[in-house]
Amino acid sequence: MELSERQEKMIEIVKQNEPITSEQIAHQLKLSRATIRPDLSILTMAGYLEARPRVGYFFTGKTGSELLAKRLMKYKIKEFQSVPVVVKESASVYDAISMMFLNDVGTLFVINNEKCLSGVLSRKDLLRASIGNHDLNDLPVHIIMTRMPNISVCRPDDLLIDGAQTLADKQIDGLPVVKDTPVGLHVIGRITKTTITRVFAELILNEHV
């Protein structure tokens, strides 16, 4: 969040005079209380200031980066997951390549007959298969996919920051969001590097929440 010059000055006034009332802040700025009321609301909601009834305003001591980190730690996967793109184990590599490009994704999630996650297909997997001496229409994806349990997954209530860390550590493009069932893991969503980047950028630019 980028603060205005007046908001920065208000924080300094509170730092030096806490606790201080809105009337006293307005007096030092030579403005009316009505004029500074929106700024005080923004600074309080953003976490820079704390308002105590009949006492006044206090500086929380938190920096912009600390407040940003605090917000990130509240975000969960389910708030940002998108629709997964899945393919059956019996599908051909040719069909998988077509599906990947038509949906403009970097990862396909492979499901078995019980609609549970059994594998993952990346662009690299499909590229390796396409440069071999194979008929891509006859080659099923289960031959070339990365199989369970060598697949990283996340769940709806996991923190978004943990999903971002997994993507970075594993150097992969996307994670399946799964739900535990008696027969296996059902794929209910996906989280990608693009999603993570967009969320972080919007948060930093103060265009989200």
In this prediction, residue 1 has a pLDDT band, given cuts at 50, 70 and 90, of low
Q: 22-29 vs 33-46: helix axis angle to the nearest 10?
A: 120
What pTM was estimated for this model as a whole?
0.67
- Find all residues with CB under 8 Å of 175, minimum gap 6, and list them: 152, 153, 154, 163, 166, 167, 190, 191, 192
How do residues 116-166 score in pLDDT, each as one tens digit? Answer: 999 999 998 998 888 877 789 999 999 999 998 889 999 999 999 899 889
Task: Output the six-digit token pair for 175.
Answer: 């994670």
* Structural domains in the chain plus CATH codes: 5-62 (1.10.10.10), 77-201 (3.10.580.10)
Mean pLDDT of the chain: 88
